[in-house]
Structure 1
Amino acid sequence: LLADHPDVRFFEAVYPLHMPNFENVAATLATMPAIQGATFVAMRDLPGYDQVLAGQQPDGFTLASAGGALQIVGLYPLYAALRLFGRPKKGSYFATAIQTGVDGLGAIFLEYPKFDVTLHIGITTDSFMPSEIYGLHEKIVIDNITELKLINHYDVDKQNNLLNTITYANRLTGEALAIGNVLENLNDPEQQKQYARWLQLARDVHTTLFHLRSMVGIKFPTDR
């Protein structure tokens, strides 16, 4: 469809990737000589789960609404992992189903040539575990992979270096600015290269997401 409409741009609203603090994580990661793995956590106790327990079928918690942990919160750590480490060579998903047939909790394992990344996701309970990236003698600790308000980089001397810079009052500000730059500079090669990278990342994330969902037998009415 995009090829048929060359003046149209497609964006997925993944606001954490456009936060300045996420860019600080990516920049610091690029300086680390070795990566041994990572653990990302995105688990929220969403109010709709109480409705499920009461026998109801709220949006976001049903197959008909394309809901579940992967779709609602899993998308964000998946985007973070693929943006930072690239597309994995293999992915596995171990999920716990709820009464409506969707995944309420789950653990994703992404295999890379030299390390693995684990994602803990859920929509039926909270987790206050930080997300971490493990280097050789250093580590990046992120308070929340979807909000990125506090990021600590422990260097080889175990000294803590704060990676926080700008935190916008509205968490969608960075995303709006980034998308606006592309749309206002349609003839700028660099901006269009940036857009092409985002589009390829979206393809990779959703290819992986669909594979993970298929592994546990989650099928939506809109699937072909």
Structure 2
Amino acid sequence: MSRERHVPTVKPPRRPELRLPPLRPYEGWELEPDGDYDGLAFTDTDLSGQEGPGARFLDCALEGCALDETSLANARLIDSRLARVRGVGTDLSGASLRDVEVLDARMGGVQLAGAVLERVVVSGGKIDYLNLRQAKLRDVVFEGVVLSEPDFGGAALERVEFRDCVLRRADLTGARMKDVDLRRAAEIDIARGVDRLSGAVISPAQLLDLAPVFAAAVGVRVESA
């Protein structure tokens, strides 16, 4: 008698395999536009207000850095770790993040519109008003992080997992999803675009929680007799 093979309902994301080499301490004064930073450790460095659009960070670690109003538009972060970074208004619009870990960040108003994230883990911490409009996310894991009012408007998400994280007042307007796993999210609150969850997987309990939002989206009133 043949056994029925279990077919996974969603493809899991590939996580980054980050192995940083021995790093040299960063001893610069100011970031430079189109600057090239290779094998450097930025430790408790105040990069607030600095201008580094188009810069490339390869095999770098940014730990405890301040990134208030730091301009890193169209920057490239490759095989790098950002740990305990903090800041408001960091501009990473159009940036490319590949094989990157973001650990215990405390940030607000981060601009990642039009960015490309591939094999990225965002773990712990809290990020308010994360702007990912028109971004492309592939093989991305959000785990143990609080995302307050994230904007995924028009973004493309493929093999993205939300694990033990809180998703509050999320905007999914125009988003496109494939193999997006929400089943292990601690909290899901969709403000707009609940109809864009096609391509995502949720749990039965989450379906009950989201029932009023689904009903409102299709114009169904729920009233007691």
Normalising by structure 2, we get a TM-score of: 0.22
Structure that is richer in strand per residue: 2
Structure that is richer in helix per residue: 1
Structure having greater relative contact order (Cα 8 Å, sep ≥ 6): 1
